[in-house]
Structure formats: C-alpha cells, structure tokens
Amino acid sequence: MTFLYALRYFQVVAVVPRLFLVGFVVTVGAAVVRLTSDPSMAVEALTPVLMFQLFAASSGFRVGARRGYYDLLLTSGVPRWQVAVAHCLASVLPGFVAWICVLLLEVAASHGSSFRSAAMGSTLTVIGLSLLAWTAAIAVSRATAAVGWLLIMTVSPIARLASPVQWLGLSSAHPGWITALAIVAVAMPVTLASACIARMSIPLDGSQ
C-alpha cells in the first residue's frame, strides 16, 4: 500500500497547478467544437493538449522537494523509487485524461470511422513525450523546462527536426518494431530518473 499512499499524497499536494487543469478543460472544450464541425481535425484538436502536457508533466521533483512540500512523504518510509513513480504518474495523468477525452470525442463525432488520436504516432507521442518531459525536468523548475520546450516548438530550425507535433496522427508499416524501440527509448531515461531521485540529496532551501 506504500505506493498507493504516495500516489494519494501527490493528489493532495498537487504537482500539476490548478491553472493547468483549467487549461486542459479548455482544450477539451475547444476539441468538442472543432471535432463536432469536422471529425477529421483530430490532430489539430490534440495539438494544444500535447502542448499543455509538456508543461504540466515538467513538474520538477527536486524543486518541490527542496521547498519541503514532500517532507512528510519522504520521511514516511515509502521507498524513494515508489515516490518517483507516483510523482511521475501524478504529473502526467491530467494530460492522459485530456487525450482520452479527445479520442472519445473523435470516435463519437466520426461515428467510429476516425481514430487519428489513437494512431501510433499520436499514442507514442503523447505517452513518450509526457514521460520524457517529466524525466528531463526532475532537477529543474517548471519555468526552466517551459523555456526549453518553447525553444523546441518555436525556433524554426529546431522545430523542423524535433517538434513532437509533426508526429501526431502518423501510422507506421512496422508498428511492432517502432513500439519496441519507443518503449526502450522512454523506459531507460525514466528508470534512470527514478534511480536518480532514489539517490538524490535534497537539502531544504532554507538551510542553504
């Protein structure tokens, strides 16, 4: 039950600010309007959800821990790796829920004929980028991570190569190989990040 305790803790001490939750509600509302008028616009409806998710998932574990937000949990005896996994799930869950909502809206609006939100490119992008965003931000603030993502999204030479938006809605002739490679590519940094949190020294800001 220790993992469930950690997960409940991060629901009480929220790692995703309320503003982001409101943002997800707004993006899903916009998706309702867009998909109702044109079910083929699933990628356009999913794009703002992915943008919000990159910022929401970049929750910065170390920053919150150093401010004392997680003291009760870190001293409760819950293994650090379980704390890390619970923090990751709490960080990415709102975006996953918004993604599923867009998918259900697309299916309903198209009467089951369109599944671009569930295409391999969309699925791997939303899940993979969510986990990578959490991993990349464990030692930095959300603001710092946001600057990095904005550069990736808005600087044209970088965006052409690295922007995840271009992968939404894509399918593949070799789904098995692509999925396996994606799982390895994401699992390795997430595992390393969890191990890093397990060994991380977390002095409180006030003690420096």
How does DSSP assign 69-108, residue by residue? Answer: TTHHHHTTT--HHHHHHHHHHHHHHHHHHHHHHHHHHHHH
Residue 70 included in any domain: yes
Does the pLDDT of residue 15 top 90, yes or no?
yes
Helices marked H in the chain — which ranges? 2-12, 18-37, 42-57, 61-66, 71-74, 80-109, 120-136, 142-154, 156-162, 175-199
> Which of the residue ranges 23-32, 50-59, 105-114, 164-173 would you say has the lowest mean pLDDT?
164-173
Residue 206 included in any domain: no
Residue 135 included in any domain: yes
Residue 192 included in any domain: yes
Residue 207 included in any domain: no
Residue 208 included in any domain: no
pLDDT of residue 208: 44
Tens-digit pLDDT profile for residues 73-84: 998 889 999 999
Mean of all residue pLDDT scores within the chain: 87
In percent, the amount of the chain with pLDDT more than 90 equals 48
Residue 141: domain span? 2-201
Domains: count for the chain: 1
pLDDT of residue 34: 93
**Which band of pLDDT confidence, cut at 50, 70 and 90, is reported for residue 26?**
very high
